């Protein structure tokens, strides 16, 4: 194999016909890391990957691989392996020839012949014995394994994967993403993976960068991205979430008002750790699985234990197999709860959640 390299992008900006596609993107990918770029269509993921590969020249900023600045180096001199969404296998070549094509610029690593290397790689992706087949006769999943073998054949320092699973059906996608992750772990190769699927990103990555509109919104391990979204965008894009607009009504103790109330009833306020600046508008988030539905008896104890309770009405219930997704209405707003119960809830309910599960979103 090649050496394992870190990848650093510093202040990368790219524009197409004067329209910015990336604005000051800085990322540090560690040696051996599985790093995923996730975001909606058109946010700049592919452009970021193409900039690392050398297919795109940034207008400003630097890219280094293994500590070496590679801006200006053509793709074939960067020792990166690339897999695209659409396989990009040559139909007139056998599977073996397709994998060997990966060695057109480089000799196989170690003292092995091309033939031995191709056999090694076919074995690695569980396709031994398929060398003589035509790619066209293979399933999408098999074709993508061949594309992976071809990219890995020269022993690249970095593996770049651009939506490699998005042409496959859901079940195969889930299977193959585990294959890719296992392979990456076994080889210890630095990998940058692009997807628009946030669940896929969370499932397989060491760290994730959420990109929106050509900018990095947040970088972190999947758990941190999910549990502590830094921005409104991340909170909405990653998983289901409840977002509340509110106003800071007191800093000590820190409390946020969720509604202004009326002449007859005071507004609802909840404790939120870390808020300051009375009068400031803030956005709070709480995950549906942190919201429970409690009965009358539990309501007293939930309140006494410091949980927050809201009186809501169930509007729609979806059965998900492992849980019910319960859409509720509270003060004209929709609130989503994900609950494990034997029966679907209905009518008037009390929703309860802990203050520790409320996240204060700070806009960048």
Ligand X SMILES: Nc1ncnc2c1ncn2[C@@H]1O[C@H](COP(=O)(O)OP(=O)(O)OP(=O)(O)O)[C@@H](O)[C@H]1O
Which residues contact ligand X by CB under 6 A? 16, 21, 39, 41-47, 196
Shortest distance, position 172 Cβ to ligand X, whole Å: 20
Shortest distance, position 225 Cβ to ligand X, whole Å: 17
Of the pair 212, 224, the CB lying nearest ligand X is at: 212
Q: What residue spans of the chain are helical by DSSP H?
A: 45-53, 95-101, 114-124, 140-152, 170-187, 198-204, 222-227, 232-237, 296-304
Pairing mode of beta strands 281-286, 292-294 = unpaired
Shortest distance, position 85 Cβ to ligand X, whole Å: 8
Dist. CA 56–CA 151, nearest whole Å: 19
Of the pair 41, 262, the CB lying nearest ligand X is at: 41
Shortest distance, position 60 Cβ to ligand X, whole Å: 16
Shortest distance, position 219 Cβ to ligand X, whole Å: 16
- Looking from the CA of 21 toward its CB, the CA atoms found within 13 Å total 18
Of the pair 50, 117, the CB lying nearest ligand X is at: 50
Contact 176, 144 (CB under 8 A): yes
Of the pair 79, 85, the CB lying nearest ligand X is at: 85
> What secondary structure, in 3-state letters, does 2-20 show?
CCCCCEEEEEEEEEECCEE
b/e per residue, 54-76, with b = 16+ CB within 10 A? Answer: bebebeebebbbbeeebeeeeee
Rounded alpha-carbon distances, angstroms, from residue 148 to 143, 198, 202, 343:
9, 22, 21, 46
Q: Phi-psi bin for 188: left (phi > 0), alpha (psi -120 to 50), beta? A: left
Of the pair 17, 252, the CB lying nearest ligand X is at: 17
Shortest distance, position 209 Cβ to ligand X, whole Å: 12
Shortest distance, position 69 Cβ to ligand X, whole Å: 22
Rounded alpha-carbon distances, angstroms, from residue 133 to 129, 142, 155, 200, 360:
9, 11, 24, 30, 55
Of the pair 124, 212, the CB lying nearest ligand X is at: 212
- As given in the structure block, the two tokens for residue 38 are 């996730």
Of the pair 208, 336, the CB lying nearest ligand X is at: 208
Shortest distance, position 47 Cβ to ligand X, whole Å: 3
Of the pair 20, 271, the CB lying nearest ligand X is at: 20
Handedness of CA 206, 212, 216, 217 (dihedral sign): negative
Contact 202, 225 (CB under 8 A): yes
């Amino acid at each position: 194999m090649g050496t394992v390299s870190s990848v650093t992008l510093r202040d990368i900006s790219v524009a197409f016909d004067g329209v910015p596609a990336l604005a000051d993107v800085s990322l540090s990918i560690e040696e051996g890391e599985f790093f995923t770029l996730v975001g909606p269509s058109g946010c700049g993921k592919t452009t970021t990957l193409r900039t690392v590969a050398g297919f795109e020249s940034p207008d400003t900023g630097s890219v280094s691989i293994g500590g070496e600045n590679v801006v200006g180096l053509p793709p074939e001199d960067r020792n990166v392996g690339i897999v695209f969404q659409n396989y990009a296998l040559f139909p007139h070549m056998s599977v073996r020839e397709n994998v060997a094509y990966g060695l057109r610029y480089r000799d196989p690593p170690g003292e092995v012949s091309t033939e031995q290397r191709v056999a090694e790689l076919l074995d690695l992706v569980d396709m031994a014995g398929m060398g003589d087949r035509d790619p066209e006769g293979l399933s999408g999943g098999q074709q993508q394994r061949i594309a992976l073998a071809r990219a890995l054949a020269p022993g690249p320092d970095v593996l770049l994967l651009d939506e490699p699973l998005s042409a496959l059906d859901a079940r195969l996608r889930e299977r193959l993403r585990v294959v890719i992750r296992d392979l990456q772990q076994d080889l210890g190769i630095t990998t940058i993976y692009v997807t628009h699927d946030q669940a896929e990103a969370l499932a397989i990555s060491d760290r994730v960068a959420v990109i929106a509109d050509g900018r990095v919104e947040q970088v972190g391990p999947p758990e941190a991205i999910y549990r502590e979204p830094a921005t409104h965008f991340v909170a909405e894009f990653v998983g289901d979430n409840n977002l509340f607009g509110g106003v800071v009504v007191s800093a000590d103790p820190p409390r946020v008002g969720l509604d202004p109330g009326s002449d007859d009833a005071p507004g609802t306020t909840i404790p939120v750790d870390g808020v300051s600046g009375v009068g400031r508008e803030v956005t709070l988030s709480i995950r549906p699985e942190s919201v429970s539905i409690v009965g009358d008896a539990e309501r007293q104890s939930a309140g006494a234990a410091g949980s927050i309770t809201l009186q809501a009405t169930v509007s729609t219930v979806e059965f998900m197999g492992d849980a019910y997704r319960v859409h509720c209405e509270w003060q004209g707003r929709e609130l989503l709860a994900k609950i494990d119960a034997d029966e679907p809830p209905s009518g008037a309910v009390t929703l309860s959640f802990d203050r520790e599960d409320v996240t204060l979103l700070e806009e960048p």
